[in-house]
Structure 1
């Protein structure tokens, strides 16, 4: 469990273009929350022209508080996005988000199977009933302070009111996703399940209830994140070599998956 937020830009398409237009920061949550959260992410912008950001989503649930032009502050619970996520940023705005570790969200909403959130955004009050009758008050408490450490403290206070509830199956789900993320040899669900001492069906049920997508989807998504990071950071990429390093049978399979996820083939990818 990391003590500090990661610094990479995995999943962000044209990361350099986004960072020149917004103030993007990550913060660590309070100690009792760190087992279940990746980090908090804060974005502020003041743009003279609209900008569309694109993200290849992580296999994570996010709680997102937003202050957008012409709207009252509001919050949503965003399940895992299955496709490329695009968002237009315009005018002046502020977002404070919570990225949960894959498998970690259900400790804060024990009655909700995470697969029910997949591909969806729900109003905050639909998941956390105590923010009624005026969820804008909760969102305003997070978004209102100019001092970002005060915003982080408000996020801590909100989450600590709701958990995390002890749950050994959540612990197992988080550990299994960590292994997938770190181990490039974790490519076949059957082999991975046997190594974990589970049947394929039991692992699929666990991932459905606690992660929101199946283990095969998680394996693929982390490989695409790594390929995208190479495309962002390297002047020239040997895609055949990278495909082999990521465990693909050949370059064609990587090209197909990358194109389906990002929207352009890796050989044509040109950030900015």
Structure 2
């Protein structure tokens, strides 16, 4: 009796779920929500590939150094890299002396007060230090950026849907609003139209605004697209500095598993060969 009662209860709830699902599906297809301007004008990330893409991907150290230069000269004024230490730059091709020189030109605030000026004093960064924040706190960051707090870029390619192609698209996507953009979605004071951003309008002004904004030491032409691609590649590295090691480990593990599977199969054949032969012999004698 208890079993029958339990089955009936289960059938009731299962039927109720099916009815609810059917009613919800009917409501969605008969009264679909109207597309907003964000849906109509928002664009997906541009199709761009990086050398680190795919299971065999590797970083282009020269490109990473160019990307770091773009970050240092363009992005660092507003965006932090709080999870990256100066000494990590050795992984992208800088030697110890170069890392020390880079760190020395990046002052870090200290709790001490300069008695001569009354201002907070600073010290030169050490290779073991993380990249310092460009603002003292979020209040100062918002005040300097139209009340929008610039995000930390350490993991930005992991934190944003679309990853590095999205970052590249955003940096190269600033444009004038289309003529048919609704008035409610027109960029207000201090905002900039960008169809790759979720709500179409960004508080961040175009950071890469013109060609040759950065002078590359390797002779690469510093177009807007090139600078955007280089800094996007650099931010892939900041988010996944061990990407190459992970790829190498993955292939080693895969090869090991294939070999182990083959050896296991041979062991199976060897161990059970005599048993099968003995079983067939007994069956024949019977």
Q: How would you bin the TM-score normalised by the shorter chain?
A: under 0.3
Larger Cα Rg: Structure 1 or Structure 2?
2
Which structure has the highest helix share of the two? 2
Which structure has the highest strand share of the two? 1
Question: Structure 2 length normalisation: TM-score?
Answer: 0.25
